[in-house]
Amino acid sequence: MDPTPGAGGPLRRVLVANRGEIAVRVIRACHLVGAAAVAVYSEADSGAAHVRMADDSRLIGPPPAARSYLDIDALIGAAKDAGADAVHPGYGFLSENAAFARAVAAAGLTFVGPPAAAIAAIGDKARARVLAREAGVPLVPGSGLVASADEAVAAADRVGYPVLVKAAAGGGGRGIRPAADEAALRSALPAAQREATAAFGSDAVYVERSIARARHVEVQVLADSLGSVVHCYERECSLQRRRQKLFEEAPAPGLPPTVRDRMTAAAVRLARRVGYAGAGTVEFLLDVNEFYFMEMNTRIQVEHPVTELVTGLDLVAEQLRVAAGQPLSVRQDDVELRGHAVECRINAEDPDRKFLPRPGTVTSLVLPGGPGVRIDHALAPGTVVPPFYDSLVAKLCAWGSSRPQALDRVAQALAELEIGGLTTTAPLHRRLLGVPDIRSGRYHTAWLEEFLA
Q: Quick one: pLDDT band at residue 174, thresholds 50, 70, 90?
A: confident
pLDDT of 335: 98
Confidence grade of residue 83 (pLDDT, cut at 50, 70, 90): very high
Q: Using an 8 Å Cβ cutoff, are 321 and 332 in contact?
A: no
- The helix/strand/coil state of 399 is strand
Pairing state of beta strands 244-250 and 205-209? unpaired
pLDDT at 72 over 80: yes
Question: Span 49-60, mean pLDDT?
Answer: 98
Domains of the chain, with CATH numbers? Answer: 13-112 (3.40.50.20), 141-209 (3.30.1490.20), 215-452 (3.30.470.20)
* CA atoms of 268 and 221, how far apart (whole Å): 7
Residue of 299, 345, 403, 409 marked catalytic: 299
pLDDT tens-digit series, residues 250-304? 999 999 999 999 999 999 999 999 999 999 999 999 999 999 999 999 999 999 9
List the single range of 143-147, 228-232, 245-249, 427-431 with lowest mean pLDDT.
143-147
What is the DSSP secondary-structure string of 110-179? EESSS-HHHHHHHHSHHHHHHHHHHTT--B-SEEEEE-SHHHHHHHHHHH-SSEEEEETT--TT-SEEEE
Element of type H or E holding 359: none
User: Would you say 193 and 209 are in contact if contact means Cβ atoms under 8 Å apart?
Assistant: no
Mark 33-56 as b/e (b = at least 16 C-beta within 10 Å): bebbbbbbbbebbeebbbbebbeb
Q: Catalytic site residue 299? A: yes
Q: What is the mean pLDDT of residues 216-239?
A: 98
**pLDDT, tens digit (0-9, with 9 covering 90-100), for 182-208:** 999 999 999 999 999 988 888 999 999
C-alpha 76/C-alpha 106 separation (Å) is 10
Is residue 331 predicted with pLDDT exceeding 90? Answer: yes
Mean pLDDT of the chain: 95
- Provide mean pLDDT across the span 119-136: 92
Average pLDDT over residues 212-228: 96
Give the tens place of pLDDT for each residue, 230-242. Answer: 999 999 999 999 8
pLDDT digits (tens, 9 = 90+) for 424-440: 999 999 999 999 999 99
pLDDT tens string 2-42: 333 444 578 999 999 999 999 999 999 999 999 999 999 99
pLDDT of residue 201: 86
Check whether the bond before 162 is cis (ω within 30° of 0): yes
Which pLDDT does position 172 carry in this prediction? 67
pLDDT at 7: 47
Average pLDDT over residues 408-419: 98
pLDDT band at residue 126, thresholds of 50, 70 and 90? confident
Q: Name the percent of the chain lying above pLDDT 70.
A: 97
Residue 308 to residue 317: CA distance in whole angstroms: 11
pLDDT band at 173 (very low <50, low <70, confident <90, very high): confident
- Position 1 scores a pLDDT of 27
Q: What pLDDT is attached to residue 4?
A: 37
